[in-house]
Amino acid sequence: MLRHLSTLYRCLLLLSLTWAGASHAKSPNILFIFADDHTIQAIGAYESWLQDFAQAHDLTPNLDRLAEQGAIFDNSFCGNSICGPSRATILTGKHSNANGFYGNNAELKPKDGFDGSQWTFPKELQKAGYNTGVFGKWHLGSEPTGFDEWKVIPGQGSYYNPDFRTPDGMIQVQGHSTQAITNLSIEFLKKQSDDSPFLLMCQFKAPHRTWMPDTDQFDYLRDAVIPKPDTLYDIYETRSSPLWHQEMEIGRHMQYEHDLKINPPLVTYDIQNPHYKRLTPEQRKAFDAFYGPRNRSFEAANLTGLELLEFKYEEYIKDYLRCIKEIDDQVGRLLAALDESGMADDTLVIYSADQGFYLGEHGWFDKRWMYEESLRMPLIARWPGKIKPGSKPEALVQNIDYAPTFMEVAGLKSPKNLHGESMVSILKGKTPSNWRESIYYRYYEYPGPHMVARHRGVRDDRYKLMHFYVTDEWELFDLEEDPQEINNVYENSDYQGIVKRLKKTLAQHEKTYDVPNKDPF
C-alpha cells in the first residue's frame, strides 16, 4: 500500500513539475518589420502587373524567400489608408474613430499626438515580461509608450543622416535611413537571449515620398525599361466627381525639385524643415554624378504632354524601386542576424506596411483612396513549426487584427472592445468558421494633401461599395469582372441586389464599430 502511495506521489510530483515548466515556458519572440508606403506591386512574391519585372530584376529576393518559408496574404487591407492612422490602428486594434487618430493633419489627431495612455499591445507585452523595442518611423507625434528601448525619427524624418528622438534627447545617425534603422534594430536584437521573449518593431521610413535611394542603389535599374500599368492614362469615366479634383497625378502634381530631383537644393526633403542641409559632401558628389547628366538631358529635351508624363513616371518608379531594393537588402541583414542569434525558430516574423501605394495606376502616386492599390497592405508571416511554408490564406484580414494576433502569440487575452480578431488560427492554416466576410474602410483627411475626398465603404471577396459622403456619390465595383476598378456599376440594374446588401453591411459595420454618423471635426 505504501509502495503504491509513494509511486502515486512521485507521479503527481512529476506532473506538477511538468505543469510548472509548461506554465513558465518562454513565449515566442515577435519581429515586426514595417515599411512606409510599400505596395504589394513592388514585391516579387505578389501577383501583379509588375511581378515579372520585379522577379526578373531581383527586386525583393529576401521578402520572396520569407513568403516561401511562411504565409503570404492576398486579402490584407487597411482601414484608413494613411501613415499615422494605420500605425495607431496597429497599436490599438481599433479603427480611427475609436483610437482618436483620424489623419496626419493637426486637426485630425490629438493635440499632443497619439494618446499613448490608451491600451496598446506593446504595453501589454512589456508587462508580461517581453523586452520591447521600436526603431525607425513612428509618425504619431507623441513619445512611444510600452517600449524598453526606442529611437524614432521625428515626423517624416530624413532619408540621409537622419535624426532620431530618444528618451535622452535627439541624436543624429550617419548614412541612409534604411540602413541606420536596421543597424539600431540589430543592436537591440544582439542584446536578446533565451531568458525572456522580445518584441522588436523595425519601422522603415522608405519608400515614402520623396523616394531618396541610398547612393549604393543608384546603378540599380539604370538602363531598365519600366512597364506601365494599364490605367496610367485613366480619365475617370463612370466614376465620382472627387476623382476630378484630387491632386495626386504624376503628370500634373509631381514636383520637379524634390520628387524628381531635378535641380534639387542641398537637402533631403523634410516636410517639417525643407531647407535643412543633410547631404554630406561625399553624398552630394554621388547625387550630382547620378542625377546631373539625366537632368541636363531632360532640360534639353523640353518634353510636353504624354512624353513628359512618361518621363516623370519612369523616373519616379525607378527611385521608388531603388528604395525597395535597399529595404530588401536590409531585411536580409535583419533575418541573418536573427539566424545568428539562434532564436529564429522561436520567432514570429511579420513583414507589412502601413498601406499600399499607387505606382502610376489611375495616373497617380500616393495612397488614401479605397481603391485596391492603396487599400491592400502587404502581409508576409513566417513562424517555424506553426505556419506551413508556402501558405496563401484567403481570409479577409485588416490592420485592426495585428494587436489581438500579437496578444495571442504572447499567450495573453485581448480586451473585448478591440475591433480586430486574432489571426493566429489563420496563420496555422485554420480559418474560423465565423471569420468576417467583409472589411470596413473610412478616410477622413479632407481638405488636405492631395485633396482626396472623405469616403467610407465595405469590401467583400468580390464586390466593393464606396460612398463619398460629402458629395453623396456612390460607387460599386465587381472586382471579379473589373479588377482595375474602371467601371462603376452602382446604377446598373443587374447589381441593385448587391447594392442593397452592401449598404446593409456598411451600416452594420458602423454600428459594430460605433462610428459616428457625422465626423467629429
Q: DSSP readout, 53-74? A: HHHHTT--HHHHHHHHHSEE-S
Report the length, in residues, of the chain: 521
Residue 265's pLDDT band (cuts 50, 70, 90): low
Ramachandran angles phi, psi of 165, nearest 5°:
-80, 135
CA 211, 105, 472, 511: dihedral to nearest 10 degrees?
A: 110
**In the chain, % of residues over pLDDT 90:** 87
Question: Mean pLDDT, to the nearest integer, of 30-57?
Answer: 98
Per-residue pLDDT tens digits for 171-207: 999 999 999 999 999 999 999 998 999 999 999 999 9
C-alpha 352/C-alpha 401 separation (Å) is 13
Contact 46, 314 (CB under 8 A): no
C-alpha 314/C-alpha 275 separation (Å) is 26
Instruction: Please give the grid coordinates belonging to residue 128.
Output: 508580461
Confidence check: pLDDT of 271 > 60: no
Q: Where are the domains of the chain?
A: 26-213+312-436
Closest CA to 395 of 336, 437, 441: 437
Residue 461's pLDDT band (cuts 50, 70, 90): very high
C-alpha 63/C-alpha 334 separation (Å) is 11
Contact 290, 284 (CB under 8 A): no
Confidence check: pLDDT of 15 > 70: no
Contact 426, 397 (CB under 8 A): yes
**CATH T-level fold of 26-213+312-436:** Alkaline Phosphatase, subunit A (3.40.720)
The whole-number pLDDT of residue 5 equals 40
DSSP 292: H
C-alpha 97/C-alpha 88 separation (Å) is 11
